[in-house]
């Protein structure tokens, strides 16, 4: 229950000893924290708390709240919840037991994968640059024995925390995990060693890890130890959750998200250049969620000169991203400290990828967006549409540059998500086709 002291679980798995802490307090964890789900606790979604104002940011808090000036960060090895209050779709995977209809065991695995997805998504800001992974240990009837999520770098991985929470009950149980367990030594021992030592009978994995150090080696190690391994459960959903990490490991480059706000007639500003505000407070708050999720934010020098933005995270809890400006920045610009980039955008992505950055949020104007779009560098578009009309031809368009010569040359995408945010609508669009390029210019 809330207010109870933290519970520390120590488990000796093989030759290594692992320590996991389940956080049952709200102290120091921010405005929307919740207790980590512990063994035998029913899986349920916690309500989201009020929007909190980030100290030191410009603008006003959407809910009128103030801040006492203290900067609060998640405590080490604890899951920090920033999850929006939307239910995850339940997987339709039915191949866990071939030639069998729906069973309680299958249902338990599907529910466990849904819970693991939530745990992983909750942990992704805290865990980066590692992937936000979730893990759940269940018995043969689908009862939850232990849960875990990726901790801060250097802390335990999701599987280790889940096994530590389950304790001796893990022997003969099923481990459900969103990403293939690692089998190499890094800052922590291999997760496969912990799984094998715990006596897990079956491991259910959503997606394999394309990291060259893993890439099937974890699955091979588990099967070699006599553990049953099932892959592909809710792979599409988890691939969306881990899109930035998977893209980075496959291409060597960050995953690029372009954000735009527009009227119904495709204008980002009126004829006089004014644009504050096209969208309402709910949509603008959602943009700060995108910023908090991004490792890097990129804008053009023209935007900096015209708007003098800070490009910080406000209205939601999260760290400020690295700020990069395509061009030179005035000495007194509020975006400083920042990185000024004078070369091509594809070279920037290669450098950022080599530095370990997983994601980039592109918040440029029509010229910058057109250049990145023409170079096929945008992996996802987040388009906020307000029920407003500028009219005429003088307003600023979404994209600059050359127009398609004919309808056959029009760029096509797929709308993969829509969401109402107050009076506005957010469309999530991905390219209909995409050839991935690696950091050396080749294709994958």
**Polymer length in residues for the chain:** 444
State the Cα–Cα distance between residues 312 and 56, nearest whole angstrom: 9
State the Cα–Cα distance between residues 286 and 193, nearest whole angstrom: 40
- How much of the chain is helix, strand and coil, in % rounded to 5? 25, 20, 55
3-state secondary structure 127-161: HCCCCCCEEEEECCCCCEEEEEECCCCCCCCHHHH
State the Cα–Cα distance between residues 208 and 181, nearest whole angstrom: 8
Q: Rounded to an integer, what is the distance from CA 388 to the centroid of its chain?
A: 31
Helices (H), 278-359: 281-293, 301-307, 345-354
Strand 16-22 to strand 296-300: parallel, antiparallel, or no bridges (unpaired)?
unpaired
State the Cα–Cα distance between residues 261 and 265, nearest whole angstrom: 11
- 288 CB contacts (<8 Å, ≥6 apart)? 313, 314, 315, 316, 318
Q: Is 382 a catalytic residue?
A: no
Instruction: Assess contact for 175 and 204: CB atoms under 8 A.
Output: yes
300 has which bridge partners?
326
3-state secondary structure 67-89: CCCCCCCCCCCCCCCCCCCCCCC
In which residue are the tokens 């481990």 written? 175
State the Cα–Cα distance between residues 369 and 381, nearest whole angstrom: 10
SS3 category, 138: strand
DSSP 357: -
State the catalytic residue, choosing from 41, 140, 159, 347: 159
**Cα separations in angstroms, 142 against 91, 121, 171, 373, 388:** 15, 22, 14, 46, 50
- As annotated, the active-site residues are 159
């Amino acid at each position: 229950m809330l207010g109870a002291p933290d519970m520390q679980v120590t488990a000796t798995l093989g030759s290594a000893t692992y320590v996991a802490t389940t956080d049952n307090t709200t102290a120091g964890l921010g405005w929307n924290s919740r207790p980590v789900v512990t063994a035998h606790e029913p899986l349920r979604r916690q309500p989201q708390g009020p929007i909190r104002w980030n100290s030191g940011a410009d603008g006003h808090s959407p809910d009128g709240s103030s801040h006492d000036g203290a900067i609060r960060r998640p405590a080490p090895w604890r899951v920090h919840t920033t999850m929006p209050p939307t239910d995850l779709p339940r997987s339709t995977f039915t191949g866990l037991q071939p030639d069998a209809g729906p069973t309680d065991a299958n249902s338990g695995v599907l529910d466990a994968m849904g819970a693991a997805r939530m745990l992983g998504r909750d942990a992704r800001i805290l865990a980066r640059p590692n992937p936000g992974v979730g893990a759940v240990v269940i018995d043969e009837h689908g009862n939850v024995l232990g849960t875990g999520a990726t901790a801060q770098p250097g802390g335990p991985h999701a599987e280790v925390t889940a096994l530590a929470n389950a304790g001796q009950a893990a022997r003969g149980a099923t481990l459900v995990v969103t990403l293939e367990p690692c089998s190499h030594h890094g800052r922590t021992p291999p997760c496969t060693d912990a799984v094998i030592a715990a006596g897990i009978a079956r491991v259910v994995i959503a997606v394999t890890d394309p990291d060259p150090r893993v890439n099937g080696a974890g699955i091979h190690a588990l099967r070699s130890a006599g553990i049953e391994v099932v892959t592909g459960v809710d792979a599409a959903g988890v691939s969306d959750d881990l899109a930035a990490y998977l893209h980075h490991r496959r291409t060597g480059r960050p995953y690029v998200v372009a954000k735009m706000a527009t009227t119904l007639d495709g204008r980002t500003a009126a004829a006089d250049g004014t644009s504050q505000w096209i969208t309402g407070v709910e949509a603008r708050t959602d943009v700060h969620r995108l910023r908090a999720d991004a490792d890097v934010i990129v804008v053009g020098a023209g935007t900096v000169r015209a708007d003098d933005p800070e490009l910080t995270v406000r209205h939601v809890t999260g760290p400020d991203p690295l700020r990069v400006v395509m061009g030179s920045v005035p000495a007194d610009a509020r975006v400083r400290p920042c990185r000024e980039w004078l070369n091509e955008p594809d070279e920037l992505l290669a450098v950022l990828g080599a530095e370990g950055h997983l994601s980039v949020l592109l918040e440029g104007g029509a010229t910058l967006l057109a250049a990145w779009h023409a170079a096929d560098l945008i992996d996802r578009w987040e388009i906020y549409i307000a029920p407003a009309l500028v009219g005429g031809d003088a307003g600023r368009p979404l994209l600059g540059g050359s127009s398609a010569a004919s309808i056959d040359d029009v760029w096509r995408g797929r709308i993969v998500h829509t969401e109402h945010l107050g009076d506005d609508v957010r469309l999530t669009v991905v390219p209909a086709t995409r050839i991935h390029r690696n950091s050396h210019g080749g294709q994958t």
